Chains A and B, each alone.
Chain A
Amino acid sequence: MKLSYFPGCTLKNHAKNFEDSAICALDKLGVEVQELHRWNCCGTVFSFATDDLIHHVAPIRNLIRVKEQESDRVMTLCAMCYNTLKRANERLKNDPESLERINDFMYKEEVKYEGDVSVFHLLEFLKEEIKFENLANKVVKPIKNLKVASYYGCLLVRPKEIGFDDMENPVILDNLMEALGADPIDFPYKTECCAAYQTVDKPQIVADRTYHILTSAQEQGAEVVVVSCPLCAFNLDTRQKETVKKYPDFKNIPILYFTQILAIALGCPEESLRLDLHYIDPKPILKEKQLI
């Protein structure tokens, strides 16, 4: 099976561990990932203002690239890309007049966008098409004795119209971790915002959130936290540096992409995990559990 894939900006640098582990895991499942040619930035945030059509051009242009690949659907890994592409798509599918205008903006494109591409996230694909029970049968290295807290953040589940799990109590990542043999840990801060892009100009707010989110997971016994968003990953991982300075009682905890756990379970080589890209080194705990 082949899947059109939109990587987004950060999967090519800071979050290369996310991309490499996902591609290797999908390969183990017999899925070939076809990166869109000439993809551009999705815009990272969906434009809320009712009159702001111009900022929907970037996400929609990527959907034209999907059509050019003779596909009618595109997969994302990054939660922000997922949210922005999907929301822009839904917004314009339901508003033919605005869609017409967007197409006018992109008059140089050879293909017209007609709302005929669907956007989905890797997690949805694993749940709906591969199915977790089949995935469990493909596990070659069960994630034994590892207590994993799944952090969902905002953009996979909100707003309801595009979220693929319960807004208040999502479980899709927990179910995936369980299928891979891990011990999922529930914790109350799993959908609490990490403060996202405030990390640029107000890093102290992120340090506060990181403290509350990760301490809550640790209190429930978590040994690692998994995420699906490169911005959450940065805030929860790298900002632990600021967190420890502000809260001396804070204890570091490794942050992993769910695809890294998936790749380990499916027998991907360690190189595909790119464990060198983490601020808090996950290698000691993974070695202790004999996972690498």
Chain B
Amino acid sequence: MRVNISKKRIRAPFIQKVEELSGQNLMVCYQCGKCSAGCPAVEEMDILPNMIIRFAQLGLKEELLKSNAIWVCASCLTCNSRCPKGINIAEVIEAIRQILLRKREDHVKVEKLTDKEKGDVPPIALISNFRKFTS
């Protein structure tokens, strides 16, 4: 894919917000790919964890916000535990989710879940799902 890089995009408030909410310095990533190599969810992801960091470094806001990968991540922290630079990738992904959720753009629409979907699963599943995927 063709990517246009500009100082303006890299220093955009969106990226600053991602760094602030995640508490991570995105620029230390050197793209070794260990996060994606260990991630159990890559099969379902459109962009991989290392690409999420790269896109964030380059300020590709729209690509990150519309990705399905941020919703497939279950914060299992395998990426964090294997990053040789000590970046908490799961926290970066959380920050991107939070930016959407804080605009009330819920990923899971609670009112659309059927009684069966809600009734079949234990409370721990519902609460954690809503905590992660709704505002």
Bound pair (A, B): yes
Binding site for B on A (CB under 8 A): 8-10, 13-15, 41, 43-45, 48-52, 55, 78, 80, 154, 158-160, 167-168, 191-193, 195-202, 205, 208-209, 230-231, 234, 238
B103 at the interface (CB under 8 A from A): no
Q: With the chains together, A195 CA to B95 CA distance in Å?
A: 19
Encode B37-61 as 1/0 by CB contact (under 8 A) with A. 0001101100000000000000000
The answer on a CB contact under 8 Å between A44 and B127 is: yes
Q: With the chains together, A164 CA to B128 CA distance in Å?
A: 23
| Contacts A205-B44, A205-B72, A208-B43 given; does A49 touch B129 at CB 8 Å | no
The answer on a CB contact under 8 Å between B94 and A48 is: yes
| Inter-chain contact total with CB atoms closer than 8 Å | 122
Q: With the chains together, A154 CA to B107 CA distance in Å?
A: 23
Chain A interface, >50% SS class: loop
Q: With the chains together, A272 CA to B122 CA distance in Å?
A: 20
By Cβ-Cβ distance, the 8 closest A-B pairs, closest first, are A193-B76, A14-B122, A197-B129, A197-B128, A48-B94, A158-B77, A44-B128, A200-B129
| Contacts A49-B98, A154-B77, A209-B40 given; does A234 touch B121 at CB 8 Å | yes
Chain B interface, >50% SS class: helix
Q: For B118, what are the chain A residues with a Cβ–Cβ distance below 8 Å?
A: 200
What is the CB-to-nearest-CB distance from B129 to chain A, in angstroms, rounded to a whole number?
4
Q: For B21, give the chain A residue with the smallest CB separation.
A: A49
Q: With the chains together, A202 CA to B44 CA distance in Å?
A: 11
B74 at the interface (CB under 8 A from A): yes
What is the CB-to-nearest-CB distance from A39 to chain B, in angstroms, rounded to a whole number?
14
The answer on a CB contact under 8 Å between A158 and B123 is: no
The answer on a CB contact under 8 Å between B124 and A231 is: yes
Cross-chain contact of B123 among A13, A167, A191, A192 (Cβ < 8 A): A13
B5 at the interface (CB under 8 A from A): no
Q: For B23, what are the chain A residues with a Cβ–Cβ distance below 8 Å?
A: 50
